[in-house]
Amino acid sequence: MKTLRYLFGVFFLFVYCSMLEAAFWGSFGSGYSSDDNFYKDVFKYNNTGYYYTFNLNAKSALSRDFSYDAFYILLGRKNYKITWEDNFVNNAGLSFTARPSDILSVRFSGSFENRTFRDEFSVKYNYNQYTAGMEVPLYILDYTTPKVGLSYENIKYNNFSYDSTAIGPLLELQQELSPWSIMTLSAKAMARNYPTQNLYEDVTTTTTVKRRDIELQSGIILSTIINRDWNFSAGIRYSDVRSNANLSVVDTSVEGSSRTLVADYYSFAGPSLFFETVFYPVRRLGCVLGGTYQKKSYPGRYATDSAGRMPGETRKDERFIVSAGVTYRMLRFITLKAEYSYEKSSSNDYIYNYSNNIFSTGINVAF
């Protein structure tokens, strides 16, 4: 019923947009996917199922200097094995762009997302996420475009105490290296508050102090068009989450299951390198290749061995992902696709040493 309400709301939004003579396009699709390590850990729970997608987009120029974009996305997955992880996602957004002068434009955006996990009997958990943002690109240089902005996020869970709000600035610099290549430098900071999560005073009692995280992200991306049938992008991102939260955990190195208080439990930091290339070797056939290398350290999490003992080290992970995909356009509006990815994780924490293979295939119909 909730999904139907979202669909009706989006329907009326796009009916209103149609009155403004907007351009519409979208697609729907379905397919099959198989994941041999659904929870990404050493225990390797296999899962298979089918998925379905639907998206709708609208774009219109209300005047020479004012335009808007709207979108709606529905994602669903029905699992055959891990049935309690069936999930549904409704995501809708709207943005307005104004060009008040020749040296700048202003973009306001907002979105809503509802994500639900359930089995065939009941909802296990769900949450709503609301976002809002403002971006101001400055056209004051010939080949360099700086951008400043502000982001806001609010997440509300219906049955868990993970609610949070976050706000922070973003900076971006786009440098045109050639008519075919652009380098983008970005930095973003978010202060996230958790109003329902209290810090621990000792291993059994909590204080009135709330959890607060500082999320820092930076990156450099190079994008280039090699020719009309081939483009390439690569970059590096760095994430640093600093949390004041502590957690009371069982210290398995001590007999009697005694508990200990761990500071910085939710903090982590590390770089991520990636690349992606898209090319069309023949007419109607598209190929995508990608790879990611990620490294993370968790200063507040103890690493454990296969016997559950704590060797006195904090958790450190390395993860490598490679992926490949092909699309074939049968007709102007019908596309077949297949994707495969392999993931390998190495960690001094026993449970996070794993490998994973994901395969999916499907059909997409555009309109």
Give me the chain's average pLDDT, please.
90
- Residue 186: inside a domain, yes or no? no
Report percent pLDDT > 90 for the chain: 72
Which residue from 193, 240, 195 is spatially nearest to 215, judged by alpha carbons? 240
pLDDT digits (tens, 9 = 90+) for 130-166: 999 999 999 999 999 999 999 999 999 988 889 999 9
pLDDT category of residue 186 using cuts at 50, 70 and 90? very high
How far is the C-alpha of 131 from the C-alpha of 140, rounded, in Å?
Answer: 29
- Residue 132: inside a domain, yes or no? yes
- Whether 198 and 63 share a structural domain: no
Lookup: tokens for 225: 């068009």
Beta partners for 355? 344
Neighbours of 77 (CB within 10 A): 17
pLDDT digits (tens, 9 = 90+) for 69-128: 999 999 999 998 887 788 999 999 999 999 999 999 999 999 999 999 877 667 777 899
- Residue 206: inside a domain, yes or no? yes
Given a cut of 70, whether residue 229 has pLDDT beyond it is yes
- Whether 223 and 322 share a structural domain: yes
- Whether 236 and 353 share a structural domain: yes
How far is the C-alpha of 108 from the C-alpha of 35, rounded, in Å?
Answer: 38
User: Tokens 């559950």 map to which residue?
Assistant: 308
- Whether 134 and 6 share a structural domain: yes
- Whether 254 and 111 share a structural domain: no
- Sequence-separated (6 or more) residues with CB below 8 Å from residue 16: none
Given a cut of 60, whether residue 7 has pLDDT beyond it is no
Tell me the average pLDDT across 9-18.
Answer: 56
- Residue 262: inside a domain, yes or no? yes
**Res 8: pLDDT:** 56
Question: Are the C-beta atoms of residues 108 and 96 closer than 8 Å to each other?
Answer: yes
pLDDT digits (tens, 9 = 90+) for 240-283: 999 998 887 776 655 555 677 788 889 999 999 999 999 999 99
**Res 48: pLDDT:** 95
- Whether 141 and 201 share a structural domain: no
User: Which residue segment(s) compose the domain that 264 sits in?
Assistant: 191-367
Burial class (CB in 10 A: 0-12, 13-18, 19+), 257: exposed
Lookup: tokens for 61: 């120029």
Domains in the chain, number: 2
How far is the C-alpha of 37 from the C-alpha of 43, rounded, in Å?
Answer: 8
How far is the C-alpha of 314 from the C-alpha of 269, rounded, in Å?
Answer: 13
Question: Are the C-beta atoms of residues 117 and 126 closer than 8 Å to each other?
Answer: yes
**Res 340: pLDDT:** 98
- Whether 94 and 199 share a structural domain: no
Instruction: Show the DSSP H helices in 20-168 as ranges.
Output: none
Given a cut of 70, whether residue 284 has pLDDT beyond it is yes
Lookup: tokens for 338: 């297949």
Cα end-to-end span (Å), the chain: 26
